[in-house]
Structure 1
């Protein structure tokens, strides 16, 4: 941790700090790097208990909320909890490539399958490393990482009879399937249950997994331990929401309500972007004297990376206070944050520190670096990282191919994409096919993308909505409305479950084609049918189009529907709503009070928008008339 802060301090000297103004990456520099000048007496009562001699520049440039107490080692969401504006612009669906690739620590699926989305079709990748990651930390709470790896290996040789019974039951009722399973005299041991749970989670069939646990608990067929309770908390949060999960936690015996249960709930709060609840759970864990862990701190880092990057400093200070050693994922978060802020020098400093601490970047970390290098126009550096990822023999290092394909496409290098695909083409995995479709789409080679997708349709009997959505996104990006419609019809004919990912692609397809009203109807029907919770980006795509049209009525309607879906306390919808009022040259009565009620505190750009739509704004002309 000390070395990490020292390394990042160098980028402060290079960039400098503006007086009283700190960019996001500067705040991270100050928080994650040790300043060599020593601190005298701390300024301000909230800092009098801090004894470190390394934060003078940080304290003088970044205002840490007074309620954040290093002495009590707690976090609190107060004024300034939202940075708003530009930092929210990158949120889109709330997850970056970093977050979606690290399933084990971020619980990505709880965002994609949140609240009501109960996916019923297989969503399998035949890449075992994904499964192991998904199961290793929180996705499969009921066993250790070693146990999970062994069960995955066993699963290939001995398919789960319990899982087969659940899937083949003609009534599609888990309770009926379990009753029949027992009536047939089958053995219901923990190993069999674990195999079934693993298969259900792999397919994101969270409702069935939850019903399995509920049946086991109610029928006393399994002696529940802490990880079983934690697994149920996780599933309840995914299926029924955080409030129901928290209520269930109150019923867990105290002997089984430990750190694993709370960290599981914390991860789901973070996945839902619920800042207040996440901080509340984190503080509760401290009150219960649970040890401070890198996992819990990483969850907060991940949350603040999406919502308020300036508060990353608070977590790093806490980690130093509690002597929490950064994990490899901690470095990934900081690297990605630097990259998002376009601070390439700072990103490189963190990588150097990471290596100095004996942590070598894995290919996921390298993929993050290459993506940010490419976005920053540093194609040579990105290419060098990709060559390093390949290693000496790509045929024996096939696991990186699905990362290399879209990254080479980001560089516009069609020859390299073709070379990588030629290595995979003889016997590609599903993940490699999806990556190839995405890569060819980025390169505007639609026919090549379609050829790979057709091969997927022939090779795998039933593709999921997630797999179709990759091809649908290609059509969306190139405004190919007719082909997009045909693909959605093909999805329906195949019996594929159409969920939020498909709606998102479909909504954007119609929006890009200029048919925003049709996109609005599609989204409204999806909600009415109660088939899941649409993504944040789906609402925003429509709302932004209404704002550009100066259609205040429909922009307000979309804003209200977003609130109903649970997307509240974000600056970006308010920015878009204000844009609608500005374009319509209409005053926005009560907008400041609405923002205050949602705990949104305007930054400079948002404040400028508010001034323009203020119904009681004074101008030189209005003063004369008055």
Structure 2
């Protein structure tokens, strides 16, 4: 397997590992930024890497310890490359269908009986060292009786419902508790789930084991942030502070894209002498693919030294990283190595490959792989349709989209409808997208998630009137508007040239609801203010993003500094602000900083001095 590292990620470095000297070829990824958001810039060769005493270090970068804030932040020790610019633009590896990349960020604001956990909602599997998704479309949904009682309780008085349950002499089995927890989590009702966990321990109705503490920690991290979750670990009996607990914290660092804290937790796990697993390494690989691709090499080196066998997810991450770099030959080479290890690419991996083939202009390779994904009889493999629809749309193949949709049309699943609406929207066939939506509306009740798919189509095609009509229909039907709806409206108003209106809509939405707006909603408005050179409003939105819990990263600063450049005024103290946010300027950002430096000397000033 590790011939893969030498062949696909070559770089010769000296490494010191556990007080022994190895002369090895350390993996290195020379990648260009994600094509969706970033500009293209090469990546310089990484300096020598030293590994010892349970940590990573190099002359210019290391895995730092400590967190500067008590709030959970997107802290990153970014490299010097432009792919640090990427913000929340997840590749197809994490979310093969576009509509699934939009997470509901509030636990109760947009839930429904049909609520489902998106594919990118990460969950821990305690049986395998693998990152898996909660969603299992083939699994029958079962509502527990305890869950129904909790939902019927007035307000959020979960404890009252639980006390009543016990008083009535009803059995409180682990099976009932697990099912109730699953129901609450599926609807993102993390607050109620946490109350249930706390009540169970305080009343001693359940003998807690490490997985129960890990579940509690996960809920705390989601509701109160990583700092609170770390504090909770100290209260866990030492005998239960095992690897499951720490990898739960590590996985939450990934969900929050907190690279700095993830590195710290990874090192902590090694200091505690937990075994290095594919699960833990995959967490870092996810983060480095998004934030600092040079460090992919470090993780592969650790896996080699610790004799950690790469999992299917490891290959998927490396395939996606190569695809983002436009290194199609390297990507195909990794696929062959994957097959050589006896692992056949699954549908999700093939969807990633197709996406990168299309992006590289290799339509024939994309079409051939799509046909292979279909199998001999698509009707027997109809669950593949939801993946095929948007990919055929990306190729501009309306006939193929229509053919695949016909397979689903008689007995569609809701995910098929989402994919069809997205596909027809990409092909600019609004009537077809609306027809699917109406069919879906008759079969399932209107929910914010269902409507957001069509709203996104309207936003992409600047159809403000239709979007307003759909929002009015949502309100009339009793839908509670949330982040997905706000995001679509913000984009619609911005595209109509009404930036102030978009800003107002977002601020009113925040006041009316406790839900957290999507990152993209803020960034869309910030970009427009920056283009105008409107420093006041740019700084306001920048502050609002921080206030919402989105810690600053290079991308936000680049947009903010663009406002100063367009206004032709210096940005005093901007370097100190970057340092305060623990950001190392990448190439693009460094060039922009020179332009807004209020103390730089011009040739004329040098002569006068």
Aligned length: 578
Quick check: 1:100 aligned with 2:95? yes
CA distance, structure 1, for counterparts of residue 579 and residue 367 of structure 2:
47
Provide the TM-score with structure 1 as the length reference: 0.85
Secondary structure, aligned partner of 1:69: strand
Cα deviation 1:57-92 (Å, max 9, x = unaligned):
9999633476x624535474359921366313433x
Cα deviation 1:428-451 (Å, max 9, x = unaligned):
001100000100000001111111
Quick check: 1:229 aligned with 2:209? no
Q: Where do residues 451-466 of structure 1 align in structure 2 (5 Å cutoff)?
A: 451-463=435-447, 465-466=448-449
Cα deviation 1:214-265 (Å, max 9, x = unaligned):
2212222111111111111111111222122222111111111111111001
Q: Report the equivalent of 1:121.
A: 111
Contact 2:29–2:297 under 8 Å retained in 1: no
CA separation of 1:596/1:154 partners in 2, compared to 1, >3 Å: closer, same or farther? closer
CA distance, structure 1, for counterparts of residue 146 and residue 96 of structure 2:
30
Q: Report the equivalent of 2:474.
A: 491
CA distance, structure 2, for counterparts of residue 404 and residue 254 of structure 1:
49
- Tell me which stretches of 4 or more aligned residues in structure 1 moved more than 6 Å: 45-48, 56-61, 140-145, 151-154
Q: Report the equivalent of 2:588.
A: 605
Q: Where do residues 2-401 of structure 1 align in structure 2 (5 Å cutoff)?
A: 2-8=2-8, 29-30=9-10, 42=14, 49-55=20-26, 62-64=45-47, 69-70=51-52, 72-74=54-56, 76-77=62-63, 81-83=77-79, 86-91=82-87, 93-100=88-95, 112=103, 117-119=107-109, 121-122=111-112, 124=114, 137-138=123-124, 156=141, 159-401=143-385
Quick check: 1:470 aligned with 2:477? no
Provide the TM-score with structure 2 as the length reference: 0.87
Contact 1:550–1:583 under 8 Å retained in 2: yes
Contact 1:120–1:205 under 8 Å retained in 2: no
Cα deviation 1:187-237 (Å, max 9, x = unaligned):
211111111112222222222222221221222211111111111111111
Contact 2:459–2:491 under 8 Å retained in 1: yes
Cα deviation 1:446-496 (Å, max 9, x = unaligned):
111111111111111342x22221111101000111111222222223332
How far is 1:152 from its partner?
9.6
Cα deviation 1:78-124 (Å, max 9, x = unaligned):
59921366313433x2533322369xxxxx99x9455x654451374
CA separation of 1:509/1:50 partners in 2, compared to 1, >3 Å: closer, same or farther? farther
How far is 1:186 from its partner?
2.2
Cα deviation 1:521-561 (Å, max 9, x = unaligned):
22223333452222221111111100111111111111122
CA distance, structure 1, for counterparts of residue 111 and residue 507 of structure 2:
23
CA distance, structure 1, for counterparts of residue 243 and residue 507 of structure 2:
40
Secondary structure, aligned partner of 1:216: helix
Secondary structure, aligned partner of 1:595: helix
Contact 1:74–1:286 under 8 Å retained in 2: no
CA separation of 1:625/1:608 partners in 2, compared to 1, >3 Å: closer, same or farther? same
Contact 2:46–2:294 under 8 Å retained in 1: no
CA distance, structure 2, for counterparts of residue 125 and residue 385 of structure 1:
32
CA distance, structure 1, for counterparts of residue 129 and residue 331 of structure 2:
33
Cα deviation 1:385-409 (Å, max 9, x = unaligned):
1111111111111221110001110
Cα deviation 1:149-198 (Å, max 9, x = unaligned):
9x998955x64211222233354532232233333332211111111112
Quick check: 1:560 aligned with 2:543? yes
Secondary structure, aligned partner of 1:51: strand
How far is 1:141 from its partner?
6.4
Larger helix fraction of residues:
1
Contact 2:143–2:183 under 8 Å retained in 1: no
CA separation of 1:117/1:539 partners in 2, compared to 1, >3 Å: closer, same or farther? farther
CA distance, structure 2, for counterparts of residue 483 and residue 396 of structure 1:
37
